[in-house]
């Protein structure tokens, strides 16, 4: 990664993305671009806000104001012209801070198909040094889409890696898959990561639902990152982000890297 793009709207929640983006930039020797867009404020007011935020960062940073533009459109256009990693805050539900948060994160995922680092309201990250990246997968082909970007991040930050699957307390996988299919998916994921030079371990977590199992494990294990694919239709998803992804982003104490197939 050469630059980390952090959209801001002046909210307190957005400050969590600043902390995550700053730590990520320092760990990867990247710079930061702060971006804001929308209506209701002058360019001078928005630049003043971004300048103040930029001054708080430890990593090298710059800022950009795109006035009179829908925030999601501004973010998507910026990503077309730069080799950026996008880090943005969200409550994991639509309607919160609609100028930039919630529904905008979903729209960006829907329009780009690129990985997005989502920072939820409970995210607590100071440093990624010596940390662990969890990759949540199931037996669907879609879930494997997260492997490549997760492997790239793990190598850039020198993170340990765990491949995580979720089951009921009796060991039955969630969704319309059987244990053999999940085991094959885990083996394939471990083989892919091995080819990438990453010695990952497999972990199984249990809970009442897939999202509860994943989130409880992530928080108890103190993971630095979680990577997962957002399913766009049936099964674990009912919205663009997906019900499982929404729950995890809302409750996880670490940033969640979300990949959604571009439609």
Domain-wise residue ranges, the chain: 3-119, 132-259
What confidence score (pLDDT) does residue 176 get?
63
pLDDT band at 236, cuts 50/70/90?
A: very low
CATH topology of domain 132-259: Rossmann fold (3.40.50)
Residue 70 or 94, more confident? 70
- Tens of pLDDT, residues 172-202: 888 767 889 999 999 999 999 999 999 999 9
Residues 5, 85 contacting (CB under 8 angstroms) = yes
Q: How far apart are CA 88 and CA 102, in angstroms?
A: 10
Mention every residue, 6+ apart, whose C-beta is less than 8 A from residue 138: 165, 166, 173, 174, 175, 177, 182, 185, 210, 236
Strands, E assignment, the chain: 3-7, 31-38, 61-67, 84-89, 116-119, 132-136, 160-167, 201-206, 225-229, 256-259
The stretch 214-242 carries a mean pLDDT of: 74
Tell me how many degrees the CA angle 196-199-201 measures, rounded to the nearest 5.
125
Q: Is 91 helix (H, G, I), strand (E, B) or coil?
A: coil
- Tens of pLDDT, residues 110-159: 888 788 999 998 998 767 878 999 999 998 888 899 999 999 999 999 99
Q: How far apart are CA 171 and CA 179, in angstroms?
A: 8
What confidence score (pLDDT) does residue 226 get?
97
Would you say the CATH fold of 132-259 matches that of 3-119? yes
- Tens of pLDDT, residues 32-73: 999 998 777 889 999 999 999 999 999 999 999 998 888 889
The stretch 223-232 carries a mean pLDDT of: 86
Please state which CATH class domain 3-119 belongs to: alpha beta
Q: How far apart are CA 88 and CA 18, in angstroms?
A: 8
Closest listed residue to residue 84, CA positions, set 38, 130, 21, 158: 21
Residue 240 or 63, more confident? 63
What's the pTM?
0.88
């Amino acid at each position: 990664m050469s630059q980390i793009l952090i959209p801001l709207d002046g909210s307190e929640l957005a400050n969590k993305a600043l902390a995550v983006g700053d730590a990520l930039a320092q760990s990867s020797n990247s710079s930061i671009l702060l971006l804001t867009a929308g209506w209701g404020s002058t360019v001078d007011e928005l630049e003043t806000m971004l300048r103040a935020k930029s001054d708080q960062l430890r990593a090298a940073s710059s800022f950009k104001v795109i006035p009179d533009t829908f925030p999601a459109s501004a973010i998507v256009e910026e990503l077309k012209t730069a080799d950026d990693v996008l880090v943005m805050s969200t409550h994991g539900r639509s309607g919160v801070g609609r100028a930039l948060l919630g529904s905008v994160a979903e729209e960006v995922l829907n329009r780009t198909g690129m990985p997005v680092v989502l920072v939820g309201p409970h995210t607590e990250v100071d440093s990624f040094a010596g940390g662990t990246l969890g990759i949540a997968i199931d037996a669907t082909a879609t879930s494997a889409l997260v492997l490549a970007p997760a492997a790239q991040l793990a190598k850039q930050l020198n993170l340990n890696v765990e491949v995580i699957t979720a089951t009921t307390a009796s060991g039955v996988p969630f969704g319309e898959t059987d244990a053999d299919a999940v085991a094959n998916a885990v083996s394939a994921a471990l083989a892919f990561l091995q080819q990438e030079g990453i010695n990952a371990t497999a972990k199984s977590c249990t809970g009442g639902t897939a999202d509860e199992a994943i989130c409880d494990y992530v928080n108890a294990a103190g993971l630095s990152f979680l990577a997962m694919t957002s399913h766009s239709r049936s099964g674990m998803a009912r919205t663009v982000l997906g019900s499982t992804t929404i729950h995890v982003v809302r409750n996880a104490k670490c940033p969640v890297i979300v990949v959604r197939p571009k439609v």
